[in-house]
Chains A and B, each alone.
Chain A
């Protein structure tokens, strides 16, 4: 008797919970706007979005944002690939320009943001940013966050010690102003080296990146075929880099490490390739190495070889997201004018939104301007962005950059092999890794 009563009770409980569960699932299906929703977002590096999440949560009480930030773009790429293959993608995935080629290979696994109003807002970005995020079928799969117009970071104190001009305008003039060439850059470098005996730039990798990104066609031609072997423009610049290395212009620092920032402080090198988002990296590393604004870093409105763009990101909504509508709304909000201004102030990520580029919040004073000797970094970046054109990125762009030219560049900087040898080494690697 006791047993059967207990059984009845259990059965009643089970029925009750089934009803409750059913009630829950019906509630989920109707999708009322007050329903609590958790949105996950994965970003990388310093994108300057962290403070914005709390603001969005405050305006939308039913939304909770769970953010993950991965230290570098390379690690973020691995993370994305792993999850793309095995599941577990967030509602919003930040994608870097360098691996956009891989993303476009599987663009049908991303939500077409035109379903959620992309057409209404696409005029807010510079044209080429939207074009980059549009797949061959015309689907817009990402909203642009920042772009990476490149200017030249230099250390004014070290320039002065070497007897070179140290104020921004004279430095821009020194490198050739609007006609700045790489030849001139290496020439000044030799002058600096002759005066101080020290290296001019941290390592050859970023210089190489800048040059490749500057070309109308980089590692790939516009038609999608490889553009490395037999490319005399690239090879000649490679040999020029090797020559500069042999003259002591490269400090051969470990990139993305720089002795935990110490190389930025102890005068190991005097110039640095600076796309907008790199300004935050320079500041962060200098501070980690024990330096501050008085270390002497400055930012000039000039770049060897003309306008260049390195990187910049997009916010995408993978089609696996359970809340594509809310995710698209958040992505659109995060890439709106005021938010891009705030991100710039936090991390120096230069806006891809036109209205934000001229916003006083970007052109005015900030922590960054204070660090860079009161340089008007926003204005300078706006000027550096004006002549940028988008370059086609192929499916293996990131792999070629990192695993084909990475080892060859390391050998070149270490001085263990000459330009011709390291170039051939890169071509061999290209055949092995890409085909």
Chain B
């Protein structure tokens, strides 16, 4: 009760300073205060429905011995997680995922950077070339997978025919592990290189041209300009491209699923290119083990979060080192300036009272 009276008194005290608000004023005040939340609400409501709820539901499923056809079974706690962490097929899928990720992301980003650099030059029919590199991105992944599956067919495929005409042995793209990973990485690269190139190109366009001009005047060649100006300037965009490529790379599904579509085992006869997302699908829809599939989905989530954190730390490190470099440079310049002033002062008064204190080497 005391607090209420206190508050009342407090309110009364304020009322003396400010006149009582009309209904309309209060409404407009509420508008300013609460409307923004209403405006952002649709996203959060939608997210709660299609993002958060499935996430939590998956977690509940993962704690049960849930069968696809028969529904919820017994409560098993974290048993599904323990089983999966001990299952060699789980680790097989993790290995495949990372192998395909590395085989696709690394060449893809290197190629994208160089394509972007070429497109950044003064070409004729600029728009034509820029649109051309985006063309593979327009094709649906299923169609890409079917076409590449045919190209990499072991008996009648284009690639093996070419190898044969060169007198080389055919490669077992669909039965051997590394060739399979390479073939799938090729599909991923074909689809995403142009897309990444365009994003990097946009970043390159933002680099001031006069920097290049003065570098050229100072005698820097094309390669020197690329490595010393272009690359450092597009670093933030590059980090963005790297992160999106990582997230996409850990969720590759369509390409390995359709690479050997007639095979009964998803991800190759020996699961040799079964990625983790494909493993989840197989567990849920071929083996009917919904609970375990949900547990794998959660483990994959943890892995992606972990990689996200590593990315965050790395990019933060790069960003702060950039700031540090700039700060050091400013400090050095200031010190140099101060030194010169000091030296001038010393010369004029010829009284060497204080030596430069900084131990910073000059550069």
Contacts and interface: CB of A to CB of B under 8 A. Distances in A.
Contacts of B271: 407
Given A81-B288, A406-B264, A253 B155 contact: yes
Contact of B286 (A256, A399, A414): A399
A403 interface: yes
A402 B264 CA distance: 5
A106 B69 contact: yes
Interface in B140-157: 150, 153-156
Contact of A81 (B69, B154, B155, B156): B69
Contacts of A84: 68-69
A254 B286 contact: no
Contacts of A263: 155
Interface in B109-158: 150, 153-156
Given A78-B286, A85-B69, A403 B265 contact: yes
A406 B269 contact: yes
B69 A254 contact: no
A402 B271 CA distance: 12
Nearest to A105: B69
A88 B68 CA distance: 15
B286 A85 contact: no
Contacts of B68: 81, 84-85
B75 interface: no
Nearest to A409: B269
B158 to A, nearest CB: 12
B174 A254 contact: yes
Nearest to B289: A433
B287 A81 contact: no
- Candidate in B69, B156, B264, B288 with the most chain A CB atoms within 10 angstroms: B264
A33 interface: no
Contacts of A402: 264-265, 286
B69 A407 contact: no
B183 to A, nearest CB: 14
B223 to A, nearest CB: 47
A119 to B, nearest CB: 28
Contacts of B70: 105-106
B69 A102 contact: yes
B262 A255 contact: yes
Nearest to B260: A254
- Candidate in B87, B89, B262 with the most chain A CB atoms within 10 angstroms: B262
Contacts of A68: none
Interface string B281-313: 000011110100000000000000000000000
A254 B262 contact: yes
A432 B287 CA distance: 11
Contacts of B287: 399, 403, 433
B270 A410 contact: yes
A115 B271 CA distance: 45
A257 B262 contact: yes
Given A411-B269, A414-B172, A82 B153 contact: no
Interface in B155-174: 155-156, 172, 174
Interface of B: 68-70, 87, 89, 150, 153-156, 172, 174-175, 260, 262-265, 269-271, 285-288, 290
Rank and list the top 5 A-B pairs by shortest CB-CB distance, nearest first.
Answer: A402-B264, A410-B269, A256-B262, A259-B156, A257-B262
10 contacts: A72-B262, A253-B155, A254-B155, A255-B262, A262-B156, A399-B287, A401-B264, A402-B286, A406-B265, A407-B271
Given A402-B286, A410-B175, 17 more contacts: A74-B264, A253-B155, A254-B153, A254-B154, A254-B260, A254-B263, A255-B262, A256-B262, A259-B155, A260-B150, A262-B155, A263-B155, A406-B264, A406-B269, A410-B263, A414-B172, A432-B87
